[in-house]
């Protein structure tokens, strides 16, 4: 689809439909042709992306030369990132199915699915035509007026109101004019925001895809993805709100025009129409704000947000690496938890074995102590000496007086 095929709207009948079709056409054209221009092998963005991929792969090789062998998880995440970047930045066929069609045409399919059972206006197609129909009826009602200044104004019940009423809270023509401005502005503004934002973000995919590779730029990629989600959710919400608005405006306009065709006065119509268009205008932009808030509140995957397993995450740890892989394997900090637990259990068993052997020897020494003591002062023993017994007198003490008493007279 080329921009020349987008027909500019004309003044008069069909203005709203022409504007909406033109905006939608431009959004699709910008998304498609802009992507193809940036993804061209000769574009500066494509050359920069090639350089980023080269640097990303070179960092892996440098880390391995410095002694840091990437784990299986780091390797798989790195390969996954390269695959995502290549799919987003160089393959229009894959990008068109996965992203382009989902963002631009997915909301309409969802509205059709959820709106058909509830009989939502425009859910099964023809939303633009029905919006244009309502605008044409607003123009017709403005031309007919309210009938309050007719020579003999009557109400819808056929009761004459007497003399024409000169006092009005707001001028009829002013109210009709503001109501139509609010209707056109809110409809074109809401749809224009979500459609053009989606088209621009889709066109910039080759530029933002390269930001996924490195920690310092990954936030730009996440922001770009959230903008696409916000545009899709906003289009879904706006379409639903416009369907609800048409469900109120269409029967209301048909009823008021029927009353005016029967020459009944409708003095409250300008205020009612103004209130409806202003209220739904606020609802439209409020729904866009809520969709944007929802998209930016969603958390990206942990590996995508922190980059803890990214290949560039270990560059800052090169200075702490040893000269060889063997040194890393012998480093106690690299031991597994299971190995550490096994070593602790083995040490505890050895300590308990030593304590049990010492206790047995101590019991045997205490049991043999009197026998060793009776061997006399010259006796010696190679057995175990209990604690505190090494300096005790083991021979029987004999005094000189006792020896004299024991001599025969």
Structural domain boundaries of the chain? 10-314
The DSSP H or E segment spanning 129 is helix 127-144
Give me the tens of pLDDT residue by residue for the chain, a chain 409 residues long.
Answer: 445 678 888 888 889 999 999 999 999 999 999 999 999 888 898 899 889 899 888 888 888 888 777 788 788 888 888 888 988 888 898 899 999 999 999 999 999 998 888 888 888 888 999 999 999 999 999 998 887 776 655 555 555 554 455 566 788 889 999 999 999 999 999 999 999 999 999 999 999 998 988 888 888 999 999 999 999 999 999 999 999 999 999 999 999 999 988 888 888 899 999 999 999 999 999 999 999 999 998 776 665 555 544 444 443 443 344 333 344 444 455 446 667 777 777 787 777 777 666 555 554 455 554 444 444 444 444 455 566 666 666 666 666 666 666 666 5
> Exposed, middle or buried: residue 82 (CB in 10 Å: 0-12, 13-18, 19+)?
middle
Nearest CA among 161, 136, 177 for reference residue 267: 161
Total residue count of the chain as it appears in this document: 409
Residue with tokens 């304590």: 355
């Amino acid at each position: 689809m080329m921009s020349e095929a987008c027909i500019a709207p004309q003044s008069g009948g069909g203005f709203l439909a022409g504007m909406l079709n033109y905006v939608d056409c431009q959004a699709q054209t910008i998304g498609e042709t802009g992507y193809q221009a940036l993804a061209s092998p000769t574009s500066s963005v494509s050359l920069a992306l090639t350089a980023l991929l080269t640097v990303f792969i070179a960092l892996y090789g440098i880390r391995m030369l410095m002694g840091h062998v990437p784990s299986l998880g780091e390797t798989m995440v790195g390969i996954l990132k390269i695959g995502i970047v290549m799919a987003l930045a160089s393959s229009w066929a894959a990008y068109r199915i996965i992203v382009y069609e989902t963002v631009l045409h997915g909301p309409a399919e969802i509205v059709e699915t959820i709106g058909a059972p509830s009989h939502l206006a425009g859910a099964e197609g023809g939303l633009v035509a029905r919006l244009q129909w309502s605008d044409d009826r607003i123009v017709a009602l403005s031309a007919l007026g309210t009938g309050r200044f007719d020579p003999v104004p009557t109400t819808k019940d056929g009761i004459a109101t007497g003399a024409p009423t000169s006092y009005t809270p707001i001028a009829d023509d002013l109210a009709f004019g503001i109501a139509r401005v609010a209707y056109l502005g809110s409809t074109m503004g809401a749809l224009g925001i979500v459609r053009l934002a989606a088209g621009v973000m889709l066109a910039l995919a080759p530029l933002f895809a390269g930001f996924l590779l490195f920690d310092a730029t990954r936030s730009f990629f996440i922001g770009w993805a959230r903008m696409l989600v916000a545009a899709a959710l906003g289009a879904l919400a706006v379409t639903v709100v416009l369907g609800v608005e048409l469900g109120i405006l269409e029967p209301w306009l048909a009823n008021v025009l029927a009353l005016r065709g029967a020459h009944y006065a409708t003095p409250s119509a300008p205020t009612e129409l103004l209130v409806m268009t202003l209220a739904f205008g606020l609802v439209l932009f409020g729904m866009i704000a809520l969709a944007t808030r929802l998209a930016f509140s969603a958390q990206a995957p942990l590996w995508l947000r922190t980059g803890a397993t990214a290949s560039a995450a270990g560059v800052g740890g090169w200075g702490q690496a040893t000269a060889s892989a063997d040194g890393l394997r012998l480093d106690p900090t690299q031991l597994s938890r299971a190995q550490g637990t096994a070593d602790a259990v083995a040490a505890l068993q050895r300590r308990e074995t030593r304590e049990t052997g010492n206790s047995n020897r101590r019991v045997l020494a205490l049991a043999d102590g009197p026998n060793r003591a009776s061997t006399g002062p010259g006796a010696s023993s190679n057995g175990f000496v209990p604690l505190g017994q090494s300096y005790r007198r083991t021979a029987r003490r004999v005094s000189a007086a006792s020896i004299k008493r024991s001599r025969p007279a």
